[in-house]
Structure 1
Amino acid sequence: MPSSTFSGTVSTPKLSVAVDMGNPFLNLTVDAFLKIGAVGVTKSLAEDTYKAIDKGSLSKSTLEHALKKLCKEGVYWGAAGGVYIGTEYGIERIRGSRDWKNAMLAGAATGAVLSAVGKKGKDTIVIDAILGGALATASQFVNNHYFY
C-alpha cells in the first residue's frame, strides 16, 4: 500500500520595532500604535487590491482614494490599539495584577472611546463598550489558554 507524508513549518511574521520614549506606558502605547496601525494598513491594502482585481481596472483616482483610505485606516487602527494597550497597562498598574479583567475593562473603555469619537448616540456607545470588553476578554482567554 503506497503511503505519503506531508510536512511543513509555519512561522509567524515578526515585526520588531524598538520604541524607547523613556516611559513604559508611552513605549507600549506607541509600539501598539505602530504595529496595529500596520495591520490596518494591510487590511485596507488587501481590500483595495481585491476591488481593483474585481473591477479589472485601475485609475489614478482609484489609487489616490486607496492611498487616502490606507492612511485613515492605519491611523484609526493604530489609535484603537494604542488606546487599548495604554488603558490595559494603566489598569494593570493600578490593580497590581495581570488577568482577563484588565482586558475586559480596557476593551470596554476602548470601545466606548472609539464610539464616542464617532459621534454616535449613547446607546451605541454602551453597546460598543460591551462589544469591546467581550472581544478583549475572549482574546485574552484564547491567548492564555484558559480553556484547557
Structure 2
Amino acid sequence: MPRSTFSGSVTSPKVDIIVDLGNPFLNLTVDGFLKIGTVAATKVAAEEAYSIVKRGSVSHHNFEHSLKKMCKEGAYWGTVAGVYVGMEYGFERIRGTRDWKNAMLGGALTGALISAACNNGRDKIVTDAIAGGAVATAAEFLNYLT
C-alpha cells in the first residue's frame, strides 16, 4: 500500500494589536479583552456557520441572531479575560514578583467577581473563585512546560 508523508512546519499568521492608553494596567486589560473577545466571537461564528449549513437555509433573522450571539459571547469572554489579566498584573505590582501565585490570586478573584456580578449565591461564588484560581494556576504551570 502506498504511503505519503508530510514534512515541514505549519505556522499560523500572527496578528498583534497594540493598544496604548498611557497606562500598563489599562493596556493589558484592553488587550486581553480584545484578544479573547475576538476568539469567542470567532468560535460562535464557526458554530453558527455550521448550523446554517446543516439547516440548509439562511434568513435575515438567523443572520441577526448569529451576529447578536457573537457580540454577546465576545463581550462576555473578553470581559472575563480583561478582568483576569488586570488582576494578575495588579497582584504582580503589589507583590513585586512575577510567579504562579499572581495567576492563582488573579483567577480566584476574577472567578469570584464574575460570579458575584451574575447574582450567584455565596456557595457558588466560592466554588467559582476556587475554579478560577485552579484553572489560572494550571494554565500558568502549563506555560512553564512549553
The yes-or-no answer on 1:23 pairing with 2:34 is no
Q: 1:60 to 1:4 in 2, by over 3 A?
A: closer
Unmatched 5+ stretches in structure 1: none
Q: 1:4 to 1:39 in 2, by over 3 A?
A: closer
Q: Are 1:15 and 1:35, in contact at CA under 8 Å, matched by a contact in 2?
A: no
The structural deviation recorded for 1:144 is: 1.2
State the percentage of identical aligned residues. 61
Q: CA RMSD in A?
A: 1.7
TM-score, normalization by structure 2? 0.92
The structural deviation recorded for 1:130 is: 0.9
Q: Distance in 2 between matches of 1:127 and 1:86?
A: 21
TM-score, normalization by structure 1? 0.91
SS in structure 2 of the partner of residue 107 of structure 1: helix
Q: Distance in 2 between matches of 1:60 and 1:4?
A: 45
Deviation string for 1:65-95 (max 9, x for gaps)? 1111111111111111110000000000111
The yes-or-no answer on 1:132 pairing with 2:132 is yes
* Runs of 4+ displaced beyond 3 Å: 2-5
The structural deviation recorded for 1:5 is: 4.2
Q: Distance in 1 between matches of 2:109 and 2:95?
A: 16
Unmatched 5+ stretches in structure 2: none
SS in structure 1 of the partner of residue 145 of structure 2: coil
Worse-matched range after superposition: 73-82 or 44-53: 44-53
The structural deviation recorded for 1:15 is: 2.1
Question: One-letter code of the match for 2:103?
Answer: A
Q: Distance in 1 between matches of 2:92 and 2:9?
A: 35
